[in-house]
Chains A and B, each alone.
Chain A
């Protein structure tokens, strides 16, 4: 970018006789156009929130907050409750986060501390490419490749070794919570690990070097400097990953079995809020079932709001600390 325009011929920026008027008009015009765009962006969010609350209003007024604790989905009699689906959403998402968090942190550590510098971008890019795989393709892979493998080998193995835990007891199936948890893990690892990587990059190098200078091993340095420093940021990243897992409809509906129920066996089929909407919304009765499903959407929207706000706070805290220290 050359800034020696002052020494060159009269800049094209200064050309034009009525520059004064054009400039004032141009400034105003740009301001208005960009303001309209920004307002449109905000309007979309507000409109979306308004519309789904509006659609859910009949169900919200009929069932109130008890909707969240009732286990029922009976379109024939117009009785609905979200509890089974909230259970499915919770188990599948938290299960995924339980698996994804250590893996993501480990990957982030690998990419920031351990990997040979030359391969860092390559491996980092590969992990991020995982995030770019469309969820419907992960679901297809889950149905045809993962499901049978789980059903034929992994679930029986888990059952025989750990079958005394209710989690792994009972029958296995080609679809269920377990494949859903694994697919969601695959989806959230790239998100959490790339955010965690950024957080690790904000740790002041002087602190790290100081620890190493005192004779700490790599691991001890990470344990005592990097991790405590990054903890709020990691939690923020995990929460953002949680938000992604909670909202995923397509890949989950392909592998979870679409049978709502509250049970402790993760091998059995279940259903989540997002998956039920994907399955049932089209062709549902607009007077009874659609408001109930819209209520599901409101729950999902509120959850995403909460996750977003909490994650922002946490990530902001790490960033401001980096700003002060750096």
Chain B
């Protein structure tokens, strides 16, 4: 008669074996979807929430054109960079270009700007209508916590004739790794040395004061519920939620709100594209008189070697081509020609 102890031993081995077998079979099934040639391989991407509204249009249109499914998770640009570096998605999306360290960690990832939009400072102040004027240093001081009430003299000076309430200012920032944060901090670092030294540039920085929200959606939700709040959201979110937008002063001294025209003007100011396609459009020079100071490209992060190379190439080519037609209604301006030619050259580098 077999003793209970030996049965126990056999049982434990059995459970372990089952577990290992299950893990083995599940990981092998994941590679089975990697047929190279045909473009009918579903793609999965993750990252920027700024591009999510446009991506949603691309997903349905692309699917009806080619039958190919693109799955996209808007987890923030920081998340997009993480996941493409880890190889857990087929492409990433980020409004922030990879830092040198990040590029080193993701050595084979290419950056391809595939849309052009902006991050807009927006506000919700009882009694103040659209178009409040702010300049770079004042904006920096607000987010630094140096200016705490809306009727501060620095703000009043820029807005003669506007009655400003004494409401406390609540800056709202992105609590997740965000390309919008990158665009804002990139701009603030250029116009405020205090910001540059205290906080710096990045997708995730330590904001000195304020309330956090997750994703463009989360920040929009907090803004709409808080009187006296100021936040920064992707242009599509500002427009679709009807938020009051700040008129930011550019280097030429004009107070501008983001429109297709002012965003395109900012893009036109940068003619030379570096080899890695990382371009900063914030704080354009004085010569770009009509340029919006917080415009930015948003990038697709594609691996240069992928077993879904053909699918990727087809999708990205679609995005910078026919896909652009969905942009204007969502405040994405048309990509300028110098970018599209650089993009096409980079797309050609994606190989199987």
The reply to whether A75 and B11 form a contact with Cβ atoms under 8 Å apart is: no
The reply to whether A39 and B211 form a contact with Cβ atoms under 8 Å apart is: no
In the complex, whether A207 has a CB less than 8 A from a CB of chain B is no
In the complex, whether B78 has a CB less than 8 A from a CB of chain A is yes
In the complex, whether A3 has a CB less than 8 A from a CB of chain B is no
Cα–Cα distance between A145 and B14 once the two chains are bound (Å): 52
Cα–Cα distance between A202 and B19 once the two chains are bound (Å): 43
Q: Which residues of A contact B226 (CB under 8 A)?
A: 173-174
Cα–Cα distance between A285 and B211 once the two chains are bound (Å): 22
> Which residues of B230-275 have CB atoms within 8 Å of chain A's CB atoms?
none
The reply to whether B75 and A36 form a contact with Cβ atoms under 8 Å apart is: no
Map CB proximity to B onto A35-53 as digits: 1 under 8 Å, 0 otherwise: 1100110010000000000
Give the contacting residue for A39; candidates B12, B46, B83; CB below 8 A: B12
Report the minimum CB–CB distance from A90 to chain B (whole Å).
20
Q: For chain B, which range describes its interface: under 10, 10 to 19, 20 to 34, or 35 or more residues?
A: 20 to 34
In the complex, whether B217 has a CB less than 8 A from a CB of chain A is no
Map CB proximity to A onto B130-160 as digits: 1 under 8 Å, 0 otherwise: 0000000000000000000000000000000
Give the contacting residue for B82; candidates A32, A173, A258, A284; CB below 8 A: A284
Given A35-B8, A36-B15, answer yes or no on A283-B76 (Cβ-Cβ < 8 Å).
yes
The reply to whether A282 and B204 form a contact with Cβ atoms under 8 Å apart is: no
> Which residues of A247-281 have CB atoms within 8 Å of chain B's CB atoms?
257-259, 269, 279-280
Cα–Cα distance between A39 and B140 once the two chains are bound (Å): 59
> Which residues of B312-335 have CB atoms within 8 Å of chain A's CB atoms?
none
Q: Which residues of A contact B168 (CB under 8 A)?
A: 171
Q: Which residues of A contact B214 (CB under 8 A)?
A: 258, 279
> Which residues of B209-227 have CB atoms within 8 Å of chain A's CB atoms?
210-214, 218, 222, 225-226
Given A36-B15, A76-B204, answer yes or no on A283-B176 (Cβ-Cβ < 8 Å).
yes
Map CB proximity to B onto A183-214 as digits: 1 under 8 Å, 0 otherwise: 00000000000000000000000000000000
Cα–Cα distance between A216 and B67 once the two chains are bound (Å): 79
The reply to whether B211 and A75 form a contact with Cβ atoms under 8 Å apart is: no
In the complex, whether B205 has a CB less than 8 A from a CB of chain A is yes
Cα–Cα distance between A259 and B213 once the two chains are bound (Å): 8
The reply to whether A39 and B212 form a contact with Cβ atoms under 8 Å apart is: no
Give the contacting residue for A283; candidates B11, B46, B213; CB below 8 A: B46
In the complex, whether A102 has a CB less than 8 A from a CB of chain B is no
Report the minimum CB–CB distance from A74 to chain B (whole Å).
5
Given A39-B12, A75-B204, A269-B211, answer yes or no on A283-B83 (Cβ-Cβ < 8 Å).
yes
Cα–Cα distance between A242 and B86 once the two chains are bound (Å): 38
In the complex, whether A25 has a CB less than 8 A from a CB of chain B is no
Cα–Cα distance between A322 and B341 once the two chains are bound (Å): 82
Q: Which residues of B contact A284 (CB under 8 A)?
A: 78-79, 82, 177
The reply to whether A280 and B86 form a contact with Cβ atoms under 8 Å apart is: no
**Count of A-B residue pairs with CB < 8 Å:** 71
Given A76-B206, A174-B225, A258-B214, answer yes or no on A279-B7 (Cβ-Cβ < 8 Å).
no
The reply to whether B205 and A76 form a contact with Cβ atoms under 8 Å apart is: yes
Report the minimum CB–CB distance from A21 to chain B (whole Å).
14
The reply to whether B211 and A36 form a contact with Cβ atoms under 8 Å apart is: no
Report the minimum CB–CB distance from B114 to chain A (whole Å).
20
Q: Which residues of B contact A164 (CB under 8 A)?
A: none
In the complex, whether A175 has a CB less than 8 A from a CB of chain B is yes
Cα–Cα distance between A259 and B212 once the two chains are bound (Å): 6
In the complex, whether B80 has a CB less than 8 A from a CB of chain A is yes
In the complex, whether A286 has a CB less than 8 A from a CB of chain B is yes
The reply to whether A279 and B12 form a contact with Cβ atoms under 8 Å apart is: no
Q: Which residues of A contact B177 (CB under 8 A)?
A: 75, 283-285
B172 nearest in chain A by CB position:
A259
Cα–Cα distance between A75 and B81 once the two chains are bound (Å): 14
In the complex, whether A31 has a CB less than 8 A from a CB of chain B is yes
In the complex, whether B282 has a CB less than 8 A from a CB of chain A is no
Report the minimum CB–CB distance from A297 to chain B (whole Å).
18
Q: Which residues of B contact A36 (CB under 8 A)?
A: 11, 14-15
Cα–Cα distance between A34 and B162 once the two chains are bound (Å): 76
Q: Which residues of A contact B15 (CB under 8 A)?
A: 36, 39-40, 43
Cα–Cα distance between A32 and B10 once the two chains are bound (Å): 9
Q: Which residues of B contact A285 (CB under 8 A)?
A: 78, 82, 177
Cα–Cα distance between A297 and B4 once the two chains are bound (Å): 37
Report the minimum CB–CB distance from B238 to chain A (whole Å).
20
> Which residues of A146-192 have CB atoms within 8 Å of chain B's CB atoms?
147, 171, 173-175
Q: Which residues of A contact B46 (CB under 8 A)?
A: 283
Give the contacting residue for A32; candidates B7, B80, B200; CB below 8 A: B7
The reply to whether B206 and A74 form a contact with Cβ atoms under 8 Å apart is: yes
Report the minimum CB–CB distance from B64 to chain A (whole Å).
29
Q: Which residues of A contact B80 (CB under 8 A)?
A: 283
The reply to whether B75 and A283 form a contact with Cβ atoms under 8 Å apart is: yes
Can you report 13 residue pairs joining A to B where beta carbons are below 8 Å apart?
A35-B7, A36-B14, A36-B15, A40-B15, A173-B225, A174-B226, A258-B214, A258-B218, A282-B75, A283-B78, A283-B176, A284-B78, A286-B86
Give the B-binding residues of A (Cβ under 8 A).
Answer: 28, 31-32, 35-36, 39-40, 43, 74-77, 147, 171, 173-175, 257-259, 269, 279-280, 282-286
| 7 tightest A-B CB contacts, nearest first | A283-B79, A283-B75, A174-B225, A259-B211, A75-B204, A39-B15, A258-B212
Give the A-binding residues of B (Cβ under 8 A).
Answer: 7-8, 11-12, 14-15, 19, 46, 75-76, 78-80, 82-83, 86, 168, 175-177, 200, 202, 204-206, 210-214, 218, 222, 225-226
Name 7 extra pairs, CB < 8 A, besides A35-B8, A173-B226, A285-B82. A35-B7, A76-B206, A173-B225, A257-B211, A259-B211, A269-B211, A283-B75
